[in-house]
Amino acid sequence: MPILKVIEVMGSSTKSWDDAAQNMVSEAGKTVKNIRSIYVQETSAKVENNRIVEYRINGKITFEVGQ
């Protein structure tokens, strides 16, 4: 039976929430191996001059640490 660990992370993008999620996984993947899934808990955006300039997400990444 695999052992799974969950960490809480934040991601951002100037393009979209989907891109922010991908950035979150890509950055975490630099130090965390065997990522199994992500859970997006919260979305938000930074607004300047009535335009969204940055998409942000808070979420959890689940990864396998052993068997």
For residue range 8-33, what is the model confidence (pLDDT) as tens digits?
999 999 999 999 999 999 999 999 99
CB 27 within 8 A of CB 14: no
CB 11 within 8 A of CB 65: no
Q: What local confidence, expressed as pLDDT, does residue 67 receive?
A: 64
Q: What is the reported pTM?
A: 0.86
Cα angle at 56 between 53 and 59, to 5 degrees? Answer: 170
Is the predicted pLDDT of residue 41 greater than 80, yes or no?
Answer: yes
CATH topology of domain 3-66: Dodecin subunit-like (3.30.1660)
Q: What local confidence, expressed as pLDDT, does residue 2 receive?
A: 86
Provide, rounded to the nearest whole percent, the portion of the chain with pLDDT above 70. 99
Q: What local confidence, expressed as pLDDT, does residue 1 receive?
A: 81
Coil/strand/helix, residue 18:
helix
